A and B are shown apart, each in its own frame.
Chain A
Amino acid sequence: NAGVTQTPKFQVLKTGQSMTLQCAQDMNHNSMYWYRQDPGMGLRLIYYSASEGTTDKGEVPNGYNVSRLNKREFSLRLESAAPSQTSVYFCASSEHGGLAEAFFGQGTRLTVV
Chain B
Amino acid sequence: EDQVTQSPEALRLQEGESSSLNCSYTVSGLRGLFWYRQDPGKGPEFLFTLYSAGEEKEKERLKATLTKKESFLHITAPKPEDSATYLCAVGNAGGTSYGKLTFGQGTILTVHP
Contacts and interface: CB of A to CB of B under 8 A. Distances in A.
8 contacts: A31-B99, A42-B103, A51-B99, A59-B102, A92-B43, A102-B34, A102-B89, A104-B44
Contact of B105 (A42, A58, A97): A42
A101 B100 contact: no
Interface residues of A, number: 31
A35 interface: yes
Interface of B: 6, 9, 31-32, 34, 41-46, 49, 87, 89-93, 96-106
Contacts of B41: 107
Nearest to B46: A101
Contact of B99 (A43, A50, A104, A107): A50
Contacts of A45: 100-103
Contacts, number: 79
B87 A97 contact: no
A87 B99 CA distance: 24
Contacts of B45: 104
Interface of A: 4, 31, 33, 35, 40-45, 48, 50-51, 56, 58-59, 90, 92, 94, 96-107
B104 A97 contact: no
A48 B43 contact: no
Contacts of B104: 42
Contacts of A96: 99
A103 B101 contact: no
Contacts of A35: 103
A92 B6 CA distance: 21
Q: Quick one: which of A33, A43, A96, A103 has the most chain B CB within 10 A?
A: A43
Contact of A56 (B42, B100, B102): B100
A20 to B, nearest CB: 20
Given A97-B91, A98-B32, A106-B42, A43 B103 contact: yes
Given A45-B100, A50-B98, A50-B99, A104 B93 contact: no
A64 B92 CA distance: 22
A16 B44 CA distance: 30
B43 to A, nearest CB: 3
